[in-house]
Chains A and B, each alone.
Chain A
Amino acid sequence: KNEVEQSPQNLTAQEGEFITINCSYSVGISALHWLQQHPGGGIVSLFMLSSGKKKHGRLIATINIQEKHSSLHITASHPRDSAVYICAVRSLKGSARQLTFGSGTQLTVLP
């Protein structure tokens, strides 16, 4: 079992729909990141969370530390939101505190 599991793997939505992407993890963490990756490959950091909820524009990220679960919500989705969304956790173990990534959710928003 991977340390970070995302669902769904693929998601197709119509423009304007409300979208939810889920992330579950099995290790103790100091922070959780939501990242966006476009076809060119570059990764953009959307949120870094250690508790509660954060909002930026149409994006909302929540985390429940007790349940080891986080969600990324997109309101009023738009075709430009089409990308791979990746959840990554920073483990409490080890000195490197490296990021462990989920396999990503491919989101396609149709006009």
Chain B
Amino acid sequence: DAGVTQSPTHLIKTRGQHVTLRCSPISGHKSVSWYQQVLGQGPQFIFQYYEKEERGRGNFPDRFSARQFPNYSSELNVNALLLGDSALYLCASQLDTGIAEAFFGQGTRLTVV
């Protein structure tokens, strides 16, 4: 069985540009969460989606948005990129929104120059 897959693995963007990151959860998992991990820190919660609806949002500006598709895959979009958006973006897949174990993808390393 494939685990959580994220694409692309690495990305370099210029300030002011837009970026779209993608995540495919484990088959049968309906919940996808996005986290931002800045170098040297623990991941910070950005969004959780379940059954195509947003179930939670962390303390991130409106430049960050996400959506979940009928096949439960998800996109994270970031507009008007800033240097400070450079980070590892992690996607976590869960069966549901409860205390089910979370499984993480390898992450997308975004560098904004």
Contacts and interface: CB of A to CB of B under 8 A. Distances in A.
B109 to A, nearest CB: 7
A33 B44 contact: no
Given A41-B88, A41-B109, A101 B43 contact: yes
Contacts of A44: 104
Nearest to A4: B42
Interface in B79-102: 88, 90, 92, 97-99, 101-102
Interface of A: 4, 30-31, 33, 35, 40-45, 48, 50, 86, 88, 90, 94-104
Q: Contact size class for B?
A: 20 to 34
B27 to A, nearest CB: 17
A30 B101 CA distance: 12
B56 A99 contact: no
Contact of B106 (A4, A41, A86, A100): A41
Contact of A100 (B45, B90, B109): B45
Overall SS of chain A's interface = strand
Contacts of B92: 99
B8 interface: no
B107 interface: yes
A97 B98 contact: yes
A86 B90 CA distance: 14
Contact of B103 (A31, A45, A90, A101): A45
Nearest to A103: B42
B107 to A, nearest CB: 4
A43 B88 CA distance: 11
